[in-house]
A and B are shown apart, each in its own frame.
Chain A
């Protein structure tokens, strides 16, 4: 393909810079994990992001939507993002999908598109209903998130600390885009902290 050589070279330099700055950021300011995560995803050449917002994802969403090299899609429901990511991969673009645990329930049948086709799929899921949760309505889907993902064939990693989240996301990006896997990284509610009112 005509564009691949040039793009690959540009990506190499950008990727190294982003990866380096991601690690530096996290070492000095662990609370700024969204910046580190953004760096790790950009260094994996993610150029499309889709989301239904969650407070835990707000900084990461800001970083992606401000990036002119990334196409960001706001969704009406999370399963739309599974289909968009599949279409992007058909055209050679890497995509990431951000959602809250309640959104996983919306995705279940659509995830069969990713698993049966072996479309790379990387989901970052902020957990609700499991730690200092005040809203009982979040509890059932919070409890079902990981088993439901596993049941439909999605591999899950569960991050309890910013450093683990960065490592898991970086590893998951390779598993996803290089090995055609479908991965959800679950970001624990304990790490995200209490929702402030």
Chain B
């Protein structure tokens, strides 16, 4: 069987993302396309968030570019298992770049939630945290809210290198919370809040 309507095990994704980003301060956020963007938007829409609506596989690497441009700030990428799977090679690129201010959070429901809940590689057994570890990234799987809260307390700090957390959530379609889709608007408001000129 390739599809599964729900996976009863795992966290509520909205609760998990809201807990992760509570009191996020001046953290800069990039979201992958689809549900992780809706989760971040539902938690709170900020000018310091850039939501991707396409370019699947880009999120963590945009986070890398941003982290390198702004070593004075911490960058958190919130994306899904499907999006990160498309950019697996990017984990190698991020690992060797060694940014100390980049955290990638993979909201893992084991499915492609936007397209009919087809089971993804993680739903079929692949462990993205282990892939990241093999690349040289400090990585862990989070299954409880208190583990997420403990990670949240470290998001403002510099680490030895890039970190990745896989957050196991239930496979369910929650009501959509849609961010703006105009990428130029998102870019300009992001740069404005950093004090950069918009052209």
Chain A bound to chain B? yes
User: Which of A71, A109, A118, A119 is B68 in contact with, Cβ under 8 Å?
Assistant: A71
* B58 lies within 8 A of A86 (CB): yes
B interface residues, how many (CB within 8 angstroms): 38
* B199 lies within 8 A of A76 (CB): no
User: Which of B56, B65, B89, B184 is A84 in contact with, Cβ under 8 Å?
Assistant: B65
Contacts A93-B69, A112-B55, A117-B187 known; A76 to B61 CB distance under 8 Å? no
Give chain A's interface residue range (CB within 8 Å of chain B): 20 to 34
- Which of B18-26, B91-99, B122-130 has 4 or more CB atoms under 8 Å from chain A? B91-99
Residues of chain A from 1 to 48 with CB closer than 8 A to chain B in the complex: 1, 48
A148 CB-CB contact with B under 8 Å: no
A68 CB-CB contact with B under 8 Å: no
Chain B residue at minimal CB-CB distance from A95: B65
User: Which of B58, B92, B184, B186 is A110 in contact with, Cβ under 8 Å?
Assistant: B58
A130 CB-CB contact with B under 8 Å: no
Inter-chain CA distance A179–B187, complex, in Å, is 15
- Which of B103-111, B152-160, B162-170, B190-198 has 4 or more CB atoms under 8 Å from chain A? B190-198
Chain A residue at minimal CB-CB distance from B196: A92
Taken residue by residue from 81 to 103, chain B's Cβ proximity to chain A (1 for < 8 Å, 0 otherwise) reads as: 00000010110110011000000
Interface contact tally, CB-CB below 8 A: 122
User: Which of A73, A90, A95 is B97 in contact with, Cβ under 8 Å?
Assistant: A73
* A86 lies within 8 A of B196 (CB): no
Residues of chain A from 148 to 173 with CB closer than 8 A to chain B in the complex: none
* B196 lies within 8 A of A87 (CB): no
Inter-chain CA distance A77–B91, complex, in Å, is 12
Inter-chain CA distance A79–B50, complex, in Å, is 19
Shortest CB distance B194–A (Å): 7
Shortest CB distance A49–B (Å): 11
B46 CB-CB contact with A under 8 Å: no
Inter-chain CA distance A116–B87, complex, in Å, is 20
B62 CB-CB contact with A under 8 Å: yes
* A118 lies within 8 A of B195 (CB): no
Chain B residue at minimal CB-CB distance from A77: B89
Residues of chain A from 74 to 129 with CB closer than 8 A to chain B in the complex: 74-77, 79-80, 82-93, 95, 109-110, 112-113, 116-119
Shortest CB distance A10–B (Å): 17
* B52 lies within 8 A of A113 (CB): yes
Point out the residues of chain A lying under 8 angstroms from B58, CB to CB.
79, 82-83, 86, 110, 113
Chain A residue at minimal CB-CB distance from B50: A90
Residues of chain B from 57 to 82 with CB closer than 8 A to chain A in the complex: 57-59, 61-70, 73
Taken residue by residue from 7 to 39, chain B's Cβ proximity to chain A (1 for < 8 Å, 0 otherwise) reads as: 000000000000000000000101000000000
Shortest CB distance A65–B (Å): 12
* A83 lies within 8 A of B62 (CB): yes
A54 CB-CB contact with B under 8 Å: no
Inter-chain CA distance A92–B68, complex, in Å, is 10
Inter-chain CA distance A89–B186, complex, in Å, is 13
* A86 lies within 8 A of B56 (CB): no
Could you give 5 example pairs across A and B, Cβ below 8 Å?
A74-B93, A79-B58, A91-B28, A117-B183, A119-B187
User: What 3 A-B pairs have minimum CB-CB distances, sorted nearest first?
Assistant: A87-B65, A91-B69, A76-B89
